[in-house]
Amino acid sequence: MNDNDIKYRYIKTINGINAENIYKIENIFNYNRDKKLIKEIRKEVVDYERRIRETVEEIERDRLKSTK
């Protein structure tokens, strides 16, 4: 994932963003690059997306069971 991917996916992870948080993200990624915090954000995004996939898979399994 490149920085823009991470930023976009992070915004989806936190269900939106306001101007103040946009500044914070840009600060972390561009102005005062914080590799440790970027790594934490990346991990949070990956974990969130994994949980979403697992939930979707569980719902699909339940749907398939109920149609049998």
pLDDT digits (tens, 9 = 90+) for 8-66: 999 999 999 999 999 999 999 999 999 999 999 999 999 999 999 999 999 999 999 99
pTM above 0.85, yes or no: no
Task: Say how many domains are in the chain.
Answer: 1
Contact between residue 7 and residue 29 where contact means Cβ atoms under 8 Å apart:
yes
DSSP 31: I
Name the residue range of residue 51's domain. Answer: 3-66
Q: How many CB atoms lie within 10 A of CB 17?
A: 14
